Chain A
Amino acid sequence: MERRYIFYLMAINQIASVGMYVPAILYDHRFNGAFMSLLLAVPIGTLLVALYFRFMTRLPKASFPELLEEYAPPWMEWFSKITMVVMWYWVGLIALLSFVKLTHRFLDPETSEYVILTVFLLLVLYASQIRTRSILMGLEILIAINLPLLAAFLLKLFMEKATEWDSAIEPMTYLWHMPELDSVAAATFVFSGYANLTIYQKELQPSALSFKRFWVVPLAGFLSLFIGYFAPFMYHGTYGIMNYPYVWLATADSIRMELFVIERMMFIFLFIYISISMVSIIVHWHISHTVTVVSFSKVKKWKPAWISRLTALGFAGIAYALIGRMTEEGLLEFGRYFMITRLFTEFLLIAFIWYMARRRSSHEADGAH
């Protein structure tokens, strides 16, 4: 059942979307089209996932860069590779920077942001360079640890007495508004976990890609979006929600566990948040790192170990350069740009795979003659 790894890869994007400003971008449009974009995102995201699997099963078992080398013209190969490196680095970077800011604000205000960043970077850069298969196994263990915690958290979230369900229903009345591009792009993020397969599918059997129980994809995506967007309204109200830079953290901190050793739910939430964020950064940067190393060793005859180190250095350098300049609002904008770019590159990704699948089948048809 290697298929489960596909679910894990999709699940981390869904859980980590909270840290990737998906709810925050949606809240900006809560009176003009957030709900509509949420509803639109489900078919769009599901379609992208379905097309990916449909076209990918027509190609042999290999990672996306290897397929590019085989079936694509050079411009497409290099364009895709560079885009892959940039996009997957970018997504990890947003999660990392926002997590550093959050840690600095909530857990450790005395320590400098640079020191906190260093701690996280040491972990992430180490772990993103280990074997692909090991990352998948680590991902599985972290998901297995976090899912029960997450279930308990959600249970408590909805059981809490001091909530106003009407406040969650009120934003639903703003259904008939034109959705904005950024909110649609943000909402489709919960579906884009499949894109990680571009590298990780090499470790899986080709049969894993022929999806059974496909209905899980729209359902899980919809639920995570729905809960991620509407649940905080119950705690803070339609206007109060804008008072917090980290809405979900504030929501978690509103929950008390009277009969437990740890009284504040915030710490449970933080633990889930930190492990899911870290593993999602690791999963994403592993892709960026792998593609860089593989492509570079094609062009220059350097030792792969050195390319790997230089890449890691570059990753760290950009993070250090940005952490001091970014405010929390700046990061939100940064995330917004990412979301929009991501949506378009995802369409491109599907288009390229479609092109390669077609080219392969026409090759095979030629071969048959």
Chain B
Amino acid sequence: MLSGHVKEMIKALEKLGDSDLVSKELQQKSYSVHILYIRSICDLTQIRQELIRPFSERNTFEDFACYIQAIPEACILQSIEECREKLYKGYVVLFTNTFIWCMKVRVFEAANVMHAEVERVLQGPLDAFTGNLEVNINLIRNRYNRASLKVKNRKLGQRVDGKLAVIYDEEVVKQDVLKELEKRLDQVQADVVQSAGHLQRLLSARQRFAPFPDMIITERPDRTVLNLTMGKVVLMLEGGSFALIAPTAFFDFISSMDDMSLRKPVSYFLNLIRFLAIFITVTLPAFYVAVATYNPELFRIQLTLIVAGTRSSVPYPPFLEVMFMLVMMELLTEGSTRLPKAIGPAATTVGGLILGNAATQVGLVGNIMISIVAAVALSNFVVPIGAMSYAIRIIKYPLLFLAGMFGLYGISVGLIGILMYMVNLESYGEPYLRIFRWNQSQ
């Protein structure tokens, strides 16, 4: 039997409270030992073969002690802090009455997982989350092996039995955010939750009609780990393949993981390009409509004449012309995302080349309109995270309507309105849009 002192130490370690912490007492006829390990980063076969089987074959404690002390990558631990540290580095810790022993059984699943498909980077880690929650936690724990990282499994709402892991660094996490998130998780009412995006929608019931996502959905372990170090909370759903990160601000959606591995001037430049792209994709159609309908005097005369010239054959107002082409472009984008890979290129060719070319030749739309729609579509692809890309695709339409009805000042009012709306949004109590921190201490 283990002595009381040892049991206290084990209890203290069990208090860490991670869902993937395994604590098990092994019984033999004449003695017993206790093992502790973090399931998600340990090689379970190795534990079974090198620890549990030899244990069951040795009848006396002396025999077993001789065996384990002979294992090369093992060592003896002195304090409970050491145990804590070793646990999170992928060691199995073994308690006996006379000593504490540990052995490295860490496994890193990076070799077995798929490459990131949705958020690609040029240089940087390539692996992506999988459908298996254990593997995903392994990927996170291996990148961030600190004892303060907490992984807690929980049920979702009342009816759903799906497994959900709440992951955060307890030293830096904002407690308000965590509490708010737990509260919302309790209130979730759904029969099944199958994807991270679905979960996000269920959680942000309060800002139901906001097009802007208030959590990042990512498939990249490195982005997840980066956000964990910043004190954010990560949710992972069994079978989800994506992690949800809260709270997030607008600018988190603009950064790509590539920015971390590039030189500063380059990443600043790329960020600038992304902002430019967002500005173009949101305002360009609106500006075209406003200028062609209300204020042709905005541009210099040559440009105005070009616009007027290409529009000479178009039988309806600029607003309809833009709407017509934008709808076509949306159809094309939607069509080619959902199509099988084999037919995709055909659809793009038919849509892009034939429709665009023919429409201008017939005179349904002006040539300049084709350039504008192409610029708008291209700029929209620059936004690195899909959910934000969708939001930005939508918000150009209110601006377009305002431009069609009121012209230039309509656009300005619309832009200021969107800005004021966005600064008023919150993501789990944190402001959504701000360019500088509120004060330095935050």
Contacts and interface: CB of A to CB of B under 8 A. Distances in A.
Interface of A: 1-2, 4, 103, 107-108, 111, 116, 119-120, 122-123, 126-127, 130-131, 133-135, 137-138, 140-142, 144, 205, 261-264, 267, 270-271, 274-275, 278-279, 282
A278 B411 CA distance: 13
A135 B440 CA distance: 19
Nearest to B440: A1
24 contacts: A1-B439, A107-B294, A107-B407, A107-B408, A116-B409, A122-B413, A123-B416, A123-B420, A126-B417, A127-B420, A130-B420, A133-B431, A134-B420, A134-B424, A135-B420, A137-B423, A137-B434, A138-B420, A140-B436, A262-B300, A263-B299, A270-B408, A275-B416, A279-B416
Nearest to B412: A274
B291 to A, nearest CB: 10
Given A2-B438, A141-B423, A108 B433 contact: no
Contacts of A1: 439-440
Given A138-B420, A140-B434, A140-B436, 9 more contacts: A126-B417, A130-B423, A134-B431, A141-B419, A142-B419, A261-B300, A263-B300, A274-B413, A279-B416
Given A108-B294, A119-B410, A205 B299 contact: no
A138 B423 contact: yes
Contacts of B419: 138, 141-142
Contacts of B301: 263
A261 B436 CA distance: 31
B62 interface: no
Instruction: Indicate the member of A134, A135, A142, A270 with the most B CB atoms within 10 Å.
Output: A134
A275 B439 contact: no
Contacts of B299: 261-263
A244 B300 CA distance: 24
B435 interface: yes
Interface of B: 294-295, 297-301, 303, 402, 406-410, 412-413, 416-417, 419-421, 423-424, 431, 433-436, 438-440
B78 to A, nearest CB: 47
B434 A274 contact: no
B436 to A, nearest CB: 7
Contacts of A261: 299-300, 303
A92 B338 CA distance: 50
A22 B439 CA distance: 34
A118 B12 CA distance: 66
Contacts of B295: 107
Given A108-B407, A126-B417, A142-B419, A137 B412 contact: no
Given A134-B423, A261-B303, A275 B412 contact: yes
Given A1-B440, A134-B424, A127 B417 contact: yes
A43 B410 CA distance: 40
Contacts of B439: 1-2, 205
Contacts of A278: 412-413, 416
Instruction: Indicate the member of B301, B402, B419, B440 with the most A CB atoms within 10 Å.
Output: B419
B286 to A, nearest CB: 14
A274 B409 CA distance: 8
Contacts of A263: 299-301
Contacts of A103: 409
A141 B435 contact: yes
B297 A264 contact: yes
A144 B435 CA distance: 9
A298 B196 CA distance: 45
A263 B300 CA distance: 5
Contact of A108 (B409, B417, B421): B409
Contacts of A271: 412
Contact of A141 (B300, B303, B424, B433): B433
A141 to B, nearest CB: 6
A336 B423 CA distance: 34
Contact of A262 (B298, B423, B436): B298
Nearest to A140: B435
Given A107-B294, A137-B431, A123 B413 contact: yes
A199 to B, nearest CB: 17
Contact of A264 (B298, B407, B412, B434): B298
A127 B424 CA distance: 9
Given A107-B294, A107-B295, A142 B416 contact: yes
Given A137-B433, A141-B433, A107 B409 contact: yes
Contacts of A140: 434-436
Nearest to B406: A119
A176 to B, nearest CB: 43
Contact of A126 (B402, B420, B435, B440): B420
Contacts of A274: 409, 412-413, 416
Contacts of B406: 108, 111, 116, 119
Contacts of B431: 133-134, 137
